[in-house]
Amino acid sequence: MAQAALKPDRRNAPDENIDWKRVVHLLLLSRGLDEMEEKRLVPEKKILYQFSARGHDMAQILLGLNLTEKHDAACGYYRSRPLLLALGVDPADALGSAMARSGGYSDGRDIGVVFNYPNLNGASALPMCGGVGSQYTPTAGWAQAISYFSKHLKNKDYDRAIAVVLGGDASVASNGFWSALTAATTQRLPMLFYIEDNGFGISVPSTLQTPDGNIAANLAAWKNLTVLDGDGCDPEEAARLTKGAVALVREERMPVLLRLRVPRLEGHSFQDTQAYKSEALIRSEWARDPLPRLRDYLVPAVLGEEEWQEAVSSARTAAERARIEAESRPIADPETVTSNVFFEGPMQTMGGQYPTGYRPPEPTETAASDGQRINMVTAIRRTLDHEMSINERVVLFGEDIGPKGGVHAVTLGLQEKYGATRVFDTSLSEEGIVGRAVGMALAGLVPVPEIQFRKYAEPAIEQINDCGTIRWRTNNRFAAPIVLRMPGGFFKCGDPWHSQTNEVAFVHQPGWKVAVPSNAEDAVGLLRTSLRGNDPVIFFEHRAMLDHPWARRPYPGDAFALPFGKAKFVCQGNDITIVTWGAMVPRCEEAVDGISADVIDLRTLMPWDRDAVLSSVRRTRRCLIVHEDLGTGGFGAEIAAAVADKAFIDLDAPVSRLTMPDIPSPHNPVLLDWAVPSAERIRRKITDLLEY
C-alpha cells in the first residue's frame, strides 16, 4: 500500500491535541545546546565531536512527542538529539555525554552524539551506532519482538507499541536499510522508517544515493508499505505527517516510510565548512529554517509575543543550567574502563531475559550419560528443543532453517513442533539476520540466529561488532545476549567459501564469548550455558564433527551445562602439552598414541583456560599448539605469547605451532589433506619437540 500524503487539516490551524508550548521549549533548548557547543564548547575543546541538528530539530521533536507507549522504541543516528530531548532525556546528560564526562550515556566511553536511553516507563532510545545504516535492522528486530510479545505471548502491553528508526537520505543506500525494509514488509512489522532528507550525505548529493534523490517516490510501489512524503520545515505539515505516520503504524500494525525534506543548516559536523555548497543554496536552506516558521505559525494563534520571548529566555536558562551541571561532572576513573565488557553485575537496565525476572533451572556439570551415542547434529537439535520447550522467549531463525531444517539438518523438525513464529526462515541477508537478533535481544527475547557458513558472516561483521560492544559502550545500561550459531571448517572437501574457520576474528570482537565444541557432549553443555547466559555468544559448529564417529557421545541430560573458560584434558601425560580445539582434537589424540602427553581441548576461545595450559606447560616443559585456522594471526599466536610470557623459564623447547598455511581452504581432497594438519604431521612435530 502506498500513500502520497495524509489528508491536510483544511482549517490550517494548530492541532489542539499537540502540546505546542512543549514543542517550542524543546526546539529552543535544542538550538541553545547546538549554539553553545558551536560557539563555546567546541572551540574550548570541551567537546570533540559535534553534529548540529538545526533544521532537523522541529520534525524530530514532533515525532518524539508521539511516542507515548511503554514499549515504543526509537533508534536514531548522530543528529538525533532533539528526539532524545522529546523522549525525556535530561539536557545535562545530553551535554555531559557530548563532553565525555562520567554519567550520561556511556561514562565517556562513546562519542556523545550516539545516544542510548533505557526507559522502563516509556519510550526508549535503542543504543545508536556510529556506522551509517547500522540502526535499521536492530529496530526491525525490536518491531518483530513487539509482534512476538503481542501475538505469541499475548502480552497486551505490546498491542500498540511501535519501533521507529531515524535515518538520513544517504543511509537509504546502506545494506541495513534494504535488509530492514525487506524484513519489515515481508513480516508486516509495526515499524516506522523516518527519513530526514537534507539533500546531502556530508558532501555527496542525495541523487547519488537513490535515483533522483527521492526514496519515497522510488518506493511508491513497494508492497506492504505506506509511503508518506512532505516538508519537515512546515509546522502544520510536519505535525500532521508525524502524527499520522505513528497512528498508521499503531493501528494497522504495518510498516510506514515517512520522508521529510529538511535543511541541514550547519555542516555535517563542526569541522565541515560546506565549501561544496553554493552561497545561493545555503541562503535557500536558511530560508526554510523551521524555527521562524514555527514562530509565525504559533504567534499569536497559540502563544502571545510575550510568551514566546519567555520561552526563549526559559530555554536559554535551561541550556546554561545543563552546561553548568555537565561541566561539574568528573572524568570517569580510567581504571573502570575495562569493566562491563561482559556481564559481571549489577544487571543491565534493558536487554536480555534477566532484567524481566528470568531465572534458569539449576544446571549441573555432571553428565547423565545413559543411552546410546548420538552425533553432534542430534545433540545440538535436542538441546535447542529442550530449551525452547521450557523458555518461550527462545526463537530460532536464519536461511533455510524452517521446513528444510537447515543445510546441516540441525533444526530439522523444530518449525513443525514450535511453529513459524519461533522457528523461521529469513531473507538472504546476514546483516539483517544478526541485526534483527540484536533488536530482539534488546527487547528481552533470546534470539538464536544461524549463519549458514562461517564465510557468510562477513556481511554481518558491523552488526557483530556493534552487538558485542553494547554493554561496554552503554556502561551496562543495555545488553544484547544472542547466540549466533555458525557452522564452518572443512567437510570431506574444502573450498574458499564454506570451509574457513577463522575463529580468531570473533575473539578479537570485544564482548563476544566464543565456543568451539569438538564433540556432542561439549556441544550440549556449552550451548545450554549460552542459551541461559547474559552475554552474546558465537557458537561454532565444525562441519566435519557434526556427524563424525569420534564426536558422538551419549546425551548428557537436560540439566547438563558447562562453564566457559574451562578446558578439558582429553589425554594426560608428562612429556609435552598439546593445545587444540574443534576438528583437530581427535587428530591430536590419535597423534599421541604411545606418547605421554597432555592433550588439552580448550572448548572455548573467549574466555580460554590460561591456567590449565600454563600449569600443564610448567609440568611437561614443552608446548605444541595445533589448529585448523591459518598460522599468521591465528589464535595459536595468542596462546604461544601467553606461554612465552608466563612460563618461559619452564620451557625446555620453543613453543611451537602447527596450522594450515596462509591460504584459503582448497577444494580438491588431496590438496585439502595436504593443507590441514593431519595426525601424522602432528606426530612428527611432537617428535621434533621431544628430541629438541
pLDDT beneath 70: ranges in the chain: 1-12
pTM over 0.85: yes
Within 8 A by CB and 6+ apart from 543, the residues are 408, 487, 488, 489, 490, 491, 498, 499
Q: What is the enclosing helix (H) or strand (E) of 397?
A: strand 394-398
Please tell me the predicted confidence (pLDDT) of residue 182.
Answer: 97
Count CB neighbours of 373 within 10 A.
16
Question: Which phi and psi (to 5°) does residue 149 adopt?
Answer: -65, -40
Q: Is the peptide bond before 586 cis (omega within 30 degrees of 0)?
A: no
Q: Is the peptide bond before 300 cis (omega within 30 degrees of 0)?
A: yes
Residue 498 annotated to the active site: yes
Q: At residue 140, what is the residue type? A: A
Distance CA 32, CA 427 (A): 44
CA 549: distance to chain centroid?
Answer: 37
Nearest by Cα to 239 from 70, 28, 23, 3: 23
Please tell me the predicted confidence (pLDDT) of residue 8.
Answer: 54
What angle (nearest 5°) sits at the alpha carbon of residue 335, between those of residues 331 and 338?
105
CA 436: distance to chain centroid?
Answer: 8
Question: Which phi and psi (to 5°) does residue 205 adopt?
Answer: -65, 155
Choosing from 71, 498, 542, 548, which is the catalytic residue? 498
**pLDDT of 509-538, one tens digit each?**
999 999 999 999 999 999 999 999 999 999
Distances (CA, A) of 531 to 212, 342, 384: 47, 15, 9
Please tell me the predicted confidence (pLDDT) of residue 10.
Answer: 44
Distance CA 583, CA 588 (A): 9
Please tell me the predicted confidence (pLDDT) of residue 1.
Answer: 47
Tell me the CB-side half-sphere exposure of residue 156, using CA atoms within 13 A: 0
**Local structure of residue 439 (DSSP, 8 states):** H
Nearest by Cα to 628 from 503, 467, 443: 503
Please tell me the predicted confidence (pLDDT) of residue 5.
Answer: 54
Distance CA 63, CA 619 (A): 66
Q: At residue 247, what is the residue type? A: A
Instruction: Please give the sequence-ordered ranges of beta strands (E in DSSP) within 543-667, or none if there are none.
Output: 553-554, 568-571, 576-580, 597-601, 604-606, 623-630, 656-660
Please tell me the predicted confidence (pLDDT) of residue 272.
Answer: 82
For residue 92 the three cell numbers come to 545535562
**pLDDT of 351-373, one tens digit each?**
999 998 899 999 999 999 778 99
For residue 444 the three cell numbers come to 528481552
